[in-house]
Amino acid sequence: MPVVQPPADGLRPSDLTYTHAYNSIVSRVRRTAGAASGGVVILAGVDVDGLLGARILCSLFKNDDIPYRLIPVGGLTELEEKSDEALASEEIHTLILVSLGSLLTLTDFFNLPKKVHLHVLDSHRPWNLGNLFDIDLDDEDDEDAHGKIWIWGDGDEFSENMDQLRKSFEALQFLPQKDSDEDSDSDEESEAEEEEPEEEDEEGGDDVEDEEGGSRKRRREDSIPARRKRLRDNDRPRKLPKAIKEAHQERIAKYYNHGTYYGQSVALTIYLLATVLERADNDILWYSILGVTHQYITSHIDRERYEEYHTIFLDEVVRLNHEPDLGALQTPNPDNRNISKSEELRFMLFRHWDLYNAMLHSGYVAGRLGIWKEKGRSKLRGLLAKMGYSIQQCNQAWSHMDMELKRQLPEVLERVGPEYGLVELSYPSFTRAYGFQLSSLSAADAVEVISSLLDIAVGVRLEVDREGGKGGGEWFGGTTRWSVGTREAEMGIIASEPGERAEGTEGEESEEKKDQDWHVTNFWIAYDACDDVPLLRRSLPLAMALHRAIIRAGSDLLDKSIIRTLRNFRLTILSEGPDLRLFCHPSPLSRLALWLVDATRDRWVEKLARQNAHSGGKVKSLPFVVACLNEEKGTFSVVGVTGAPEFGDVRKNKFGLAFQQAASFSNATASLDMFDTSVVEVGREDLQSFIEHLHLHSV
């Protein structure tokens, strides 16, 4: 199983990189010239990173005239169905997993036919160590003899820590193990036997005639069979002593028990490949920026790693975008698609909303001001007044707001914000121009729109502001039901394009089938929105409506104080309300949980700091477990998210193993079908038992 590395300076000629893996795919396509689009099959996870990564990969394939099929996959059951269907084809020779597969035991999950290669591009961590270190699966059709399974790593797989894990894995996997009750006599004997040849070397190995010459000669002759036996024993793998075996097991268990986290974005991985192939352009650079931005704003990566990636992107933006001369006359260009650097405020969609609502719906502002209470909203109005911004101005759509106020906003916030605890109001980012079709769209805004389409484009009914009603709604006709505006989406059917799309239908099927159809439909709508500017513009109200629902539900939970603090986590359960249909889906529920973490971070940290002031204890930020009732299926969707004392910090998520153990010990009816292991579906009657065991066994 070759593990391929990102392109970098200092690599040895024998090191395999993304280029080797991609060239392997291309060469296999060329050798099967004339085959239909079924030769290369891409199974993409239904998440933002998977969608953007697949978009870049498909662009590279089109440039190289490589036929392919792209199939969105929402969970393990669907993955099994789609992969079996794909592998049953006689045409297939390459199966590519995008944003899924790192946690699976690939050799067990996929029954790969002869001459079919598997490529895994996934940011979910930790890796299943068997995928990194297990014996290569040779393929006689493989010209380079690298093996059948290719793992696209991010460089961390070659760290010193991973080298130690490799040694432990190989010791446990490939060497026989010693029984725990065996005494150490055999070890001592083997050590003594190994010393004998050294003594002979010291004596010179000749028949020396002295007083003991005869007896020494006889001893050597008697020892010949023993030496031969030792040589035969040395050819066999040595057994592991109990202490060493336990040390290896502990190291591997520690690796898995640390929890799940995220590595390099799949979109960035494929963009790095594109730069080496000299295929990089503004479109795929933008998709890569969106992939990393999504990781940052959803707390998948911390601020330090984000800024490392931002530095890479900054060089690429300068390389691919021509900046006009400062003194030159600048005229509007309807074809302008340039990307430029910017400082992004932590206000939700503020360029397309009004400033008051953008600040109100920010998790960061919510945590600092406590906006779920009237006192907190009064603080927000006081902040705006101290800044010199009237409520009338702040309730206007951003595009209609006074130009001078907009220009001065970052400077004024930097001066006044610290008085209200708002000290990290911006971060470095990028914006992209869309000519006359749309005002510049920031990376964060684009991610919000694509995420909303991916989650709820169809399948959930949401009321959005009518066009012109962004400043409040009531004055301009109120709200209307959201519609994506395409015939295919309205019917729940996505037309099939050769080499690119799969079908999703909606009818009188089970709830599971309907959910599957919806997420497939949503995937293709979001996929189209990546380069469909009118669709992006029409979808902005959907993203706003989603955040209104999050604020509504989160404020209600906090205002009614129905969040319980247990020993190892905080728990809240949504069993009623107008938004159950929305939050029974894992992604919106995870967003709500992350908002709760941000909104309550300062509140809990200050409370714990006061409690620990006398005892000298360490401040501990507890994770959140949020459950929402799905009335139609009679189940609860449960998500677990980790918290950190500092904004921008990220902690590993340990709920994956905790959910598995709680489901096992409680005998609950539970489904762990998502690629995100911190999401579980529990039967309605089993939730209490599940939570009790989670409380007892979680870390």
Instruction: Detail the DSSP E strand segments found in 219-334.
Output: 261-262
Please identify which residue in the block is written with the tokens 């020779």: 93
573-583 b/e (C-beta count within 10 Å ≥ 16 → b): bbeebebbbbb
In 3D, which of 546, 614, 615, 531 has the Cα closest to residue 585?
546
Per-residue pLDDT, 560: 85
Per-residue pLDDT, 598: 85
DSSP 161-209: HHHHHHHHHHHHHHS-B--TT--SHHHHHHHHHHHHHHHHHHHTSS---
In angstroms, the CA 142 to CA 346 distance is: 50
- Going by the DSSP 8-state scheme, the letter that residue 361 receives in this structure is T
In angstroms, the CA 276 to CA 104 distance is: 29
In angstroms, the CA 638 to CA 108 distance is: 28
Please answer whether residues 99 and 47 qualify as being in contact, where contact means their C-beta atoms are separated by less than 8 angstroms.
yes
In angstroms, the CA 121 to CA 271 distance is: 12
459-473 b/e (C-beta count within 10 Å ≥ 16 → b): bbebbbbeeebbbeb
Which helix or strand (DSSP H or E) is residue 438 part of? strand 438-442
Please answer whether residues 627 and 686 qualify as being in contact, where contact means their C-beta atoms are separated by less than 8 angstroms.
no
How many Cβ atoms sit within 10 Å of the Cβ of residue 315? Answer: 9
In angstroms, the CA 639 to CA 655 distance is: 8
Using the Cα atoms of residue 173, residue 174, residue 179 and residue 184 in order, give the sign of their dihedral.
negative
**Beta strands 3-4 and 149-152: pairing type?**
parallel
In angstroms, the CA 305 to CA 323 distance is: 27
Answer left, alpha or beta for residue 357, where phi above 0 means left and psi between -120 and 50 means alpha. alpha
10-residue averages of pLDDT along the chain (699 residues) = 84 88 94 74 97 98 94 94 93 95 92 92 94 67 63 88 90 65 46 43 44 46 51 58 90 93 97 96 97 95 95 95 64 82 94 94 89 92 95 92 93 94 92 86 96 91 69 53 64 40 41 71 96 93 94 91 88 91 93 90 63 55 91 94 80 92 91 92 95 82
Residue type, 320: L
In 3D, which of 135, 125, 133 has the Cα closest to residue 169?
133
Please identify which residue in the block is written with the tokens 């169809």: 458
Quick check: helix, strand or coil at residue 301?
coil
Joined tokens for residue 490? 């309205």
Query: Which CATH architecture group holds 562-697?
Result: Roll (3.10)
Per-residue pLDDT, 185: 46
**Beta strands 149-152 and 339-345: pairing type?**
unpaired
> Which class would CATH give 3-154?
alpha beta
In 3D, which of 95, 51, 103 has the Cα closest to residue 523?
51
**Beta strands 261-262 and 124-125: pairing type?**
antiparallel
Per-residue pLDDT, 207: 46
Per-residue pLDDT, 136: 56
CA distances from 58 to 280, 387, 501, 576, 605 (A): 13, 48, 11, 43, 46
In angstroms, the CA 150 to CA 18 distance is: 10
**Beta strands 438-442 and 426-434: pairing type?**
antiparallel
Instruction: Detail the DSSP E strand segments found in 566-633.
Output: 570-574, 624-630
Which helix or strand (DSSP H or E) is residue 412 part of? helix 403-416
Domain residue limits, the chain:
3-154, 562-697
In angstroms, the CA 39 to CA 453 distance is: 30
Q: Can you name the residues that pair with 41 across neighbouring β-strands?
A: 69, 95
Q: Can you name the residues that pair with 429 across neighbouring β-strands?
A: 342
Per-residue pLDDT, 486: 56
**Beta strands 679-683 and 635-641: pairing type?**
antiparallel
Kindly tell me the burial class for residue 416, based on how many C-beta atoms sit within 10 Å of its own C-beta (0-12, 13-18, 19 or more): middle
In 3D, which of 370, 372, 346 has the Cα closest to residue 359?
346
In angstroms, the CA 426 to CA 342 distance is: 10
CA distances from 258 to 161, 255, 296, 689 (A): 14, 6, 21, 25
